[in-house]
């Protein structure tokens, strides 16, 4: 039968259509089906973990599961990544150079330039999309950090969220970091988890691992053969550093000899393992101002004790990650699939200097990245026994950061090896069996964009040419499959540009050109340093004066690559305050009803940060105890509450707590007003006032001169009628739990004032800080 011309809906049908079923033949569109024997793929990505932090790359930390993978797998010792996290994740998951993917920086700003879109474009195909088109189930667990922070709230675009980028399921933190005991917000697929209080004994790494194990079991219960892709991006090792007490106890006392001794012992193990050839020279301690590390034996006894405790926590976290890997491997092995599973383990960038020269017990105060007043407290003293616990957010001094990056110089954020050279372990017993005499060590150059095509190549798969009807952008990555298979194979990658925050780099045929850019100085050729990283992998000997022709050649190559990859404009002024004008509406007044889910962090911050603000709690009756409004957690926040009939305000200034008591709440009180007046030098003057609704409220208490919560604080968003998730005041949580209000709360209204901390205020604080440092 011929289908009439006016019929619709049959155009793509390849069966037969008649007037009756008897005259028709069915047809079904083909479903994506993986080739027979296609391997599972597991990518485990750590955050801020340096080159030497695992056993296969020189560490003393207990990592038996990674040791197990390396023993039969391949270690790539000359693998490079980007200096910070979002660019590395974008490059890994798309195979595009980070600026082309839109991630010249982290997804915490919105500068308005092509290389800093900080969202994936519609024509950028992702690795999970390619694998799903080849019949894979796809799961993402853990840290995402590929959606701008302004797009994490309800009603915003989800175009760069995991499920919109090829993953079937997602569980984790869309943010760039999180608390390990009290995450500010976790996301399940396309929405926020509405948990108000985490159970006793909760630890984020364990939770993420539970979800990963469950996903594998769930798939196998429904499909015995479908291969899966598990992208497990740990929130560890990003600060704040926190670990379970039993894991910390395992490392108590193990770092008393300090970072100098640790660097020596790790480098000795690297030489013994063949990671570097005999004769390799390790970098000395960093001495450059702002990056320098003091000799361990010149520290005081108190400093040595406290600094060693920080490293104990860090080691415990690495140990915890290895335990997680063990649980994943055991699950896959229980299904008899471990031999045919590709496992990739690596880090997004090198170890960090975010803890500053002395480390900190108040992470978010230390983490403020713009000028602050000279009396700003970057470290509030606490009981040393609390270091690493749920009550503190800590980070180690940068001396441990350089030890993490042994044998290299510098840290996360710089173009030097300490920032961009990280471990890479690849295991696939069924497909990468090593030849006799092959020690599994590969010294060929590789880059993070190469993982996408390498995995497809190993699995024998092709990526779709289109995404959503558009031609997909051509990938920059090159397959390292032959390098993995053959120790003598040449690296397909001979050149690679790099840039972050004005720091520039270019690699070509064993030569590396790099700059350590100083803010306010020109981006000119005088900045370039040149290293022969074949003979000098620690980048100690600058030979730019000996080879000016190579400097000119590589500098010109960097310039060409920068224009091809949308690197320009250069600058270090694209921080969190660089936002599109429409974001201003996020600071409009908002009325929050009881039962409103916890507000997202960025949305909450726009109501209070760098400005005066007023919080009005409306009551419709007398009586009731509990929290009216809370914003923040143990690392900084404020809470307004009624306890035993008395109105109280608690302020947690990055760990320094103040509580003011406004006295008994008079009968007939219908308005409780908290006002924060922003003052110069980043302070708030708080007043607490009460009213009956018929006349202006009367001040009953004040709390002047408190440092503002800025940067990433308050970390946990606003909650109405309870103090959800991490507690602002520990004593209150231990007495009352989340302390839900049991009276007649009508609403809580935030009325933000104008911004009181613009460029002029930053400049004034910068001048003050410079004078104080002289």
Residue 769: per-residue pLDDT: 42
Residue 372: per-residue pLDDT: 87
- Report DSSP state, residue 524: S
Q: 5 or 127, which is more confident? A: 127
Residues 189-206 have a mean pLDDT of 97
List, for residues 367-393, the tens digit of each pLDDT value. 887 788 889 999 999 999 999 999 999
Nearest to residue 355, comparing CAs of 247, 238, 273, 270? 238
List, for residues 27-50, the tens digit of each pLDDT value. 999 999 999 999 999 999 999 999
- Cβ proximity of 599 and 717 under 8 Å: yes
Residue 755: per-residue pLDDT: 85
Whether the per-residue pLDDT at 774 is higher than 60: the answer is no
Hey, how many other C-beta atoms are within 10 angstroms of the C-beta on 375? 9
List, for residues 441-480, the tens digit of each pLDDT value. 999 999 999 999 999 999 999 999 999 999 999 999 999 9
Q: What residues are paired with 633 via a beta bridge?
A: 636
Nearest to residue 404, comparing CAs of 387, 390, 423? 423
**pTM attached to this predicted model:** 0.96
List, for residues 282-304, the tens digit of each pLDDT value. 999 999 999 999 999 999 999 99
Whether the per-residue pLDDT at 572 is higher than 70: the answer is no
- Cβ proximity of 83 and 349 under 8 Å: yes
Residues 151-165 have a mean pLDDT of 96
Residue 215: per-residue pLDDT: 98
Residue 524: per-residue pLDDT: 86
CA distances from 234 to 103, 113, 239, 569 (A): 20, 29, 12, 32
Residues 602-619 have a mean pLDDT of 97
φ and ψ at 429, to 5 degrees? -55, -40
Residues 410-419 have a mean pLDDT of 97
Residue 332: per-residue pLDDT: 98
| pLDDT grade for 52, boundaries at 50, 70 and 90 | very high
Buried b (16+ CB within 10 A) or exposed e, 81-118: bbbbbbbbbbbbbbbbbbbbbbbbbbbbbbbebebbbb
Residue 296: per-residue pLDDT: 98
SS3 label, residue 468: coil
Nearest to residue 236, comparing CAs of 294, 272, 183, 197? 183
- Cβ proximity of 366 and 356 under 8 Å: yes
| pLDDT grade for 519, boundaries at 50, 70 and 90 | confident
Task: For the chain, report the end-to-end CA distance as a whole number of angstroms.
Answer: 92
SS3 label, residue 169: strand
Residue 478: per-residue pLDDT: 98
Residue 2: per-residue pLDDT: 81
Residue 770: per-residue pLDDT: 38
Residue 759: per-residue pLDDT: 56
Residues 391-420 have a mean pLDDT of 97
Residue 732: per-residue pLDDT: 98
Share of the chain above pLDDT 90, in %: 91
Sign of the alpha-carbon torsion through 43, 48, 50, 55: negative
List, for residues 521-534, the tens digit of each pLDDT value. 889 888 999 999 99
Whether the per-residue pLDDT at 771 is higher than 80: the answer is no
Tokens 């560890």 belong to which residue? 236
Residues 607-616 have a mean pLDDT of 97
DSSP-derived pairing of the beta strands 79-80 and 745-755: unpaired
- Report DSSP state, residue 121: -
| pLDDT grade for 84, boundaries at 50, 70 and 90 | very high
| pLDDT grade for 579, boundaries at 50, 70 and 90 | confident
Q: Which residues contact 359 (CB under 8 A, 6 or more apart)?
A: 306, 307, 310, 379, 394, 395, 396, 397
Whether the per-residue pLDDT at 136 is higher than 70: the answer is yes
- Report DSSP state, residue 730: H
Structure tokens at 223: 């499909």
Whether the per-residue pLDDT at 90 is higher than 80: the answer is yes
Q: What is 578-599 written as a DSSP string? A: ---GGGGGGGS-EEE-TTPPPP
Structure tokens at 272: 């013994």
Q: What is 164-191 written as a DSSP string? A: GGT-SEEEEESSS---SSS-S--EETTE
- Report DSSP state, residue 53: S
How far apart are alpha carbons 285 and 310 in whole angstroms?
19
Whether the per-residue pLDDT at 766 is higher than 90: the answer is no
Residue 520: per-residue pLDDT: 82
Whether the per-residue pLDDT at 773 is higher than 90: the answer is no
List, for residues 296-349, the tens digit of each pLDDT value. 999 999 999 999 999 999 999 999 999 999 999 999 999 999 999 999 999 999
- Cβ proximity of 196 and 724 under 8 Å: yes
How far apart are alpha carbons 171 and 189 in whole angstroms?
6
| pLDDT grade for 3, boundaries at 50, 70 and 90 | confident
Candidate from 20-24, 372-376, 637-641 with smallest mean pLDDT? 372-376
Whether the per-residue pLDDT at 641 is higher than 50: the answer is yes
Share of the chain above pLDDT 70, in %: 97
Residues 531-541 have a mean pLDDT of 98
CA distances from 217 to 223, 254, 430 (A): 10, 38, 22
Residues 415-435 have a mean pLDDT of 97
Q: Is 1 exposed, middle or buried (0-12, 13-18, 19+ CB in 10 A)?
A: exposed
Residue 525: per-residue pLDDT: 83
Residue 544: per-residue pLDDT: 97
CA distances from 439 to 87, 340, 658 (A): 32, 21, 59
DSSP-derived pairing of the beta strands 74-76 and 79-80: unpaired
Whether the per-residue pLDDT at 575 is higher than 70: the answer is no
Residue 253: per-residue pLDDT: 98
Residue 772: per-residue pLDDT: 38
Residue 663: per-residue pLDDT: 97
The set of catalytic residues is 85, 145
Whether the per-residue pLDDT at 768 is higher than 60: the answer is no
Whether the per-residue pLDDT at 573 is higher than 60: the answer is no
Residues 719-732 have a mean pLDDT of 98
The helix (H) or strand (E) run that includes residue 326 is helix 301-334
């Amino acid at each position: 039968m011929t289908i009439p011309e006016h019929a619709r809906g049959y155009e793509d049908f390849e069966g037969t259509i008649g007037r009756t079923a008897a005259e028709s033949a069915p047809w079904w569109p083909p479903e994506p089906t993986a080739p027979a024997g296609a391997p599972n793929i597991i990518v485990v990505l750590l955050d801020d973990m340096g080159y030497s932090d695992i056993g296969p790359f020189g560490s003393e930390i207990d990592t038996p599961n990674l040791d197990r993978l390396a023993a039969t797998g391949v270690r790539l010792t000359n693998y490079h990544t980007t200096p910070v996290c979002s660019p590395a994740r974008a490059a890994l998951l798309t195979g595009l150079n980070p600026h082309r993917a839109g991630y010249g920086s982290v997804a915490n700003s919105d500068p308005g330039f092509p290389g800093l879109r900080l969202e994936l474009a519609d024509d950028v195909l992702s690795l999970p999309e390619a694998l799903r088109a080849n019949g894979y189930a796809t799961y993402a667990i853990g840290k995402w950090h590929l959606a701008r922070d302004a797009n994490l709230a309800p009603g915003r675009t989800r175009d760069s969220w995991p499920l919109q980028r090829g993953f079937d399921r997602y569980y984790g933190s869309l943010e760039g970091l999180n608390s390990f005991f009290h995450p500010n917000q976790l996301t399940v697929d396309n929405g926020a988890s509405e948990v108000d209080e985490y159970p006793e004994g909760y630890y984020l790494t364990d939770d993420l691992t539970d979800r990963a194990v469950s996903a594998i079991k769930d798939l196998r219960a429904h499909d015995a053969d479908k291969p899966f892709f598990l992208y497990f991006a740990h929130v560890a090792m990003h600060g704040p550093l926190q670990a379970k007490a039993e894991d910390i106890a395992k490392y108590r006392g193990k770092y008393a000899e300090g970072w100098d001794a640790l660097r020596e012992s790790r480098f000795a193990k690297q030489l013994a393992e063949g990671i570097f050839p005999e004769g390799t020279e390790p970098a000395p301690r960093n001495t450059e101002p702002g990056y320098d590390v003091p000799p361990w034996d010149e520290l005081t006894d108190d400093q040595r004790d406290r600094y060693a405790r920080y490293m104990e926590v860090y080691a415990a976290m690495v140990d915890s990650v290895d335990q997680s890997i063990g649980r994943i491997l055991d699950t896959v092995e229980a299904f008899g699939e471990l031999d045919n599973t590709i496992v990739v383990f690596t880090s997004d960038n090198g170890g960090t200097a975010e803890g500053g020269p002395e480390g900190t017990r108040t992470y978010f105060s230390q983490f403020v990245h713009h000028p602050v007043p000279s009396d700003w407290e970057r470290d509030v003293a606490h009981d040393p026994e609390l270091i690493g616990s749920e009550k503190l957010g800590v980070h180690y001094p940068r001396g441990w950061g350089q030890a993490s990056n042994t044998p290299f110089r510098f840290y996360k954020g710089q173009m030097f090896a300490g920032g961009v050279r990280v471990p890479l372990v690849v295991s696939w017993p069924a497909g990468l069996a090593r030849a006799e005499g092959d020690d599994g060590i590969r010294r060929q150059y590789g880059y993070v964009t190469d993982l996408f095509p390498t995995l497809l190549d190993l699995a024998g798969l092709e990526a779709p040419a289109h995404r959503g009807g558009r031609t997909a952008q051509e990938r920059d990555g090159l397959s390292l499959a032959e390098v993995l298979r053959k120790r003598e194979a040449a690296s397909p990658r001979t050149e690679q540009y790099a840039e972050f925050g004005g720091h520039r780099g270019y690699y070509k045929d064993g030569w590396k050109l790099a700059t350590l850019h100083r803010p306010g100085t020109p981006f000119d050729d005088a900045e370039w340093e040149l290293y022969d990283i074949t003979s000098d992998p620690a980048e100690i000997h600058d030979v730019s004066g000996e080879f000016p022709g190579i400097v000119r050649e590589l500098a010109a190559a960097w310039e060409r690559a920068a224009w091809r990859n949308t690197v320009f404009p250069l600058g270090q002024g694209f921080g969190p305050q660089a936002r599109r004008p429409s974001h201003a509406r996020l600071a409009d007044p908002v009325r929050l009803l009881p039962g409103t889910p916890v507000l997202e962090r960025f949305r909450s911050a726009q109501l209070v940060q760098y400005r005066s603000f007023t919080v009005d709690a409306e009551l419709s009756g007398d009586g009731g105890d509990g929290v009216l409004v809370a914003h923040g957690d143990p690392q900084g926040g404020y809470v307004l509450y009624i306890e035993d009939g008395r109105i109280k305000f608690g302020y947690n200034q990055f760990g320094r707590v103040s509580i003011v008591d406004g006295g008994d709440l008079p009968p007939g009180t219908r308005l409780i007003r908290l006002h924060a007046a922003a003052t110069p030098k980043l302070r708030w003057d708080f007043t607490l006032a009460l009213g009956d609704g018929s006349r202006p409220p009367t001040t009953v208490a004040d709390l002047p001169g408190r440092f503002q919560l800025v940067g990433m604080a308050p970390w946990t968003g606003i909650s109405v009628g309870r103090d959800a998730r991490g507690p602002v005041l520990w004593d209150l949580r231990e007495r009352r739990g989340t302390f839900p209000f049991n009276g007649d709360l009508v609403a809580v209204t935030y009325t933000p004032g104008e911004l009181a901390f613009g460029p002029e205020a930053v400049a004034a604080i910068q001048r003050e800080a410079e004078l104080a440092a002289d």
